[in-house]
Amino acid sequence: MLECQRDLFTLRDDVHYLNCASKSPLLRASEEASMRGLMSQRLPEGTPPADYFAEPDRLRELFAHLIHCDPVRVAIAPSVSYGLSIATHNLRLRPDQNVVVVKDEFPSIVYASLAANNTSGGQLRTVPRESTGSAWTGRLIEAIDTATGLVSLSPVHWMYGTRFDLQAVADRCRETGTLLVIDGTQYVGAVPFDFAQVQPDLLVVASYKWLFGPYQLGLAVVGDRLLDGVPFEHHWSPRAGSEDTSNLIYEPRYREGARRFDVGEFNNPITVPSLNAGLEQVLAWTPAAIQEYCGALANRLMQQLDDSRYSLPPAEDRYAHILGISLKDPGRIVSVVQALSARNVRVSKRGPVLRVSPHVYNTTDDIDALAKVLNAN
């Protein structure tokens, strides 16, 4: 199993940071990469034109390696909501079709789904929460039929940490001809994922959580049904021949693959190298090893938690990196959050649960501090 990787970060010794699902701390390597990029702007004459595409292409390669896909499928986006627009901008639903999401899904996914519906007058189906991940997956699959035009799903619920059977959902979507959009923000980088096996129509991921990248940078991976779609914005760099910056061209054809969906100025010299450093480290650790490390911390928490006042889903219904702790008395949640904050234990209140999200920089001391405060309150 991995040893604690805290020395790769700059973290305060007096803070127990168990909140990677909100925002990851910055790796020292990512910080250094960003600073090099920033300093390159001081003297731009030292940056050859070929570098315009070099770091972004490295980003595509690294991410493709992580999720097992062809790099030409990877587009660079500024956010998940921008990436979701690739689907909504190209999807034309009929009035008799429906869009399916699960209850309490992340708002950006719901808004994108509503946007897809609003253009057609179709129905939004919201699948109620079930007591287990397998039961909730079953209800979700039942809601998908041949009239379902779009399913938007996070494989791990951002609030509760519920684990959905992504492959079963993907298989059902293929049976019904339904477009499948996955928000992998709370999943990719922390859990092994094989794009080629699942075959979604679109995968979108923000970089600033489990990929250890900066804010305002994300990735979209485009399946066959959307690969020839119309981009959300129009600019010069995705066009064929754009790598020749010495000549002015007006070329209607796009470069190969998903580059047509790149955001303008996608080659940010500060953020892109920072994410590349984060991806290199995640690949070195491997998502499987990250799950194993977080699993040991989750087990330690379960052993200490007062189960007369708190509950965690069983291991088969969740992943190890996002733990949704429910209070037997939900009215206590605000005071518990205040007690945790007063003792420098950083978690998130998300709806009715405490969301705890450890990573490889956390120690058993962090878990013990969390359990001590919870059991005292």
**Domain co-membership, 215 together with 342:** no
Q: Which of 235, 265, 283 is the last residue of a domain?
A: 283
**Domain co-membership, 69 together with 210:** yes
Q: Which of 255, 283, 311 is the last residue of a domain?
A: 283
Range in 40-54, 152-166, 344-358 the model is least confident about: 40-54
Say what percent of the chain tops pLDDT 90: 80
CB atoms closer than 10 angstroms to residue 234: 10
Mean pLDDT of 222-243: 88
User: pLDDT per residue over 320-364, tens digit each?
Assistant: 999 999 999 999 999 999 999 999 999 999 999 999 999 999 999
**Domain co-membership, 173 together with 292:** no
Indicate the helix (H) or strand (E) that contains 53: helix 51-67
**Domain co-membership, 254 together with 323:** no
* Distance (Å, whole) CA 348 – CA 18: 9
**pLDDT of res. 175:** 98
Say what percent of the chain tops pLDDT 70: 98
**Domain co-membership, 12 together with 76:** no
**Domain co-membership, 10 together with 135:** no
Quickly state the pLDDT bin for 238 (edges 50, 70, 90): confident
Residue 63 sits in a domain of what CATH number?
3.40.640.10
**Domain co-membership, 315 together with 215:** no
In a domain, 146, yes or no: yes
Domain count, the chain: 2
Report pTM: 0.95
**Domain co-membership, 38 together with 142:** yes
**pLDDT of res. 298:** 97
**Domain co-membership, 136 together with 252:** yes
Buried-exposed string 238-266: b where 16+ CB fall within 10 A, e elsewhere: bbeebeeeeeeeeeeebbebbbbbbbeeb
Is 187:320 a contact under the CB 8 Å cutoff? no
**Domain co-membership, 241 together with 133:** yes
In a domain, 23, yes or no: no
- Which of 277, 284, 316, 280 is CA-nearest to residue 298? 316
Distance, CA of 30 to chain centre: 18
Residue 306 sits in a domain of what CATH number?
3.90.1150.10
Provide the strand spans (E) within the chain: 16-17, 74-77, 98-102, 123-127, 148-153, 179-183, 202-206, 218-222, 310-311, 323-327, 345-346, 348-350, 353-356
In a domain, 27, yes or no: no
From first CA to last CA, the distance across the chain in angstroms is 33
* Distance (Å, whole) CA 121 – CA 99: 11
In a domain, 28, yes or no: no
Range in 41-45, 126-130, 154-158, 178-182 the model is least confident about: 41-45
Domain span including residue 72:
34-283
CB atoms closer than 10 angstroms to residue 361: 19
Mean per-residue pLDDT over the chain, rounded: 93
User: pLDDT per residue over 291-312, tens digit each?
Assistant: 999 999 999 999 999 999 999 9
* pLDDT of 235 strictly over 70: yes
